[in-house]
Amino acid sequence: MSVYSFQAATIDGAEKSLADYKGQVLLIVNTASACGLTPHYKGLEELYQKYRSEGLTVLGFPCNQFGAQEPGTEEDIKQFCELNYSVSFPMFAKIDVKGENAHPLYTYLVEHVPAPYRTGDIEWNFVKFLVDREGQVVKQFGARTEPSALEADIQALLNK
């Protein structure tokens, strides 16, 4: 099993198989538009622009579970991301990332982070999961970890 086993609704409502991203390095992030960490969108977009031609894809999953900081509709979220951060990486429909209604992808991500990077939890918005080209979870980064701090790890996976 890998992240390629899952599918999710895009921000536009179409079902998307994560198998469509086979062979790419993925950075999967739970996002929010009204959070103190929302400026992470800028760094995520910069990473995507810098490395997408080498095989990096950032996947954004809006979530309203932390401080109700993603209250809008998918259309609101899409407009906010495009207007404020020029987000061009794939965005998905709003989901739960923890608890009994957690999206199965997020349950898988949390359970398959290898030690010593496993926290067993998603503490807030903008937790980042790095996935290799085979669909295996490699690392989890905390919410406050700036996207630029992931660059060396991303480069290492892209160069494998």
pLDDT band of 116, cuts 50, 70, 90: confident
Asked if the model's pLDDT at residue 61 lies above 90, the reply is yes
Residue 100 has pLDDT above 90, yes or no: yes
Pairing of strands 7-9, 15-17: antiparallel
Which domains are present in the chain?
A: 3-14+24-158 (3.40.30.10)
Written as one string, the DSSP assignment of 52-92 is GGGTEEEEEEE---STT---S-HHHHHHHHHHHH---S-BB
What does each C-alpha distance from 92 to 5, 37, 54, 73, 96 come to in angstroms?
Answer: 16, 19, 22, 12, 12
How many secondary structure helices (H) and strands (E) does the chain include? 4, 6
The whole-angstrom separation of Cα 96 and Cα 125 is: 11
What is the C-alpha separation between 123 and 50, in angstroms, rounded? Answer: 28
pLDDT (mean) for 58-72 = 96
The answer to pTM > 0.95 is yes
Unique residue bearing structure tokens 């996002």 = 31
Whether 81 sits among the annotated catalytic residues: the reply is no
What pLDDT was estimated at residue 117? 82
How much is the average pLDDT of 53-81?
97
Q: pLDDT band for position 77 (50/70/90)?
A: very high
Q: How confident is the model at residue 153 (pLDDT cuts 50, 70, 90)?
A: very high
- pLDDT above 90 for 110: yes
Closest CA to 97 of 6, 22, 4, 2: 6
Over its C-alpha atoms, the chain yields an Rg (Å, rounded) of 14
Tell me the average pLDDT across 27-53. Answer: 97
Spatial neighbors of 107 by CB under 8 A, at least 6 apart, are none
Is the pLDDT at 119 greater than 90, yes or no?
no
Give the per-residue pLDDT at 120.
Answer: 86
Between helix 40-51 and helix 151-158 the angle, nearest 10°, is 30
Which listed residue (11, 18, 35, 102) is catalytic? 35
On the question of pLDDT at 136 being above 90, the answer is: yes
Does 115 or 89 have the greater pLDDT score? 89
56-65 average pLDDT score: 98
Residue 149 has what DSSP assignment? G
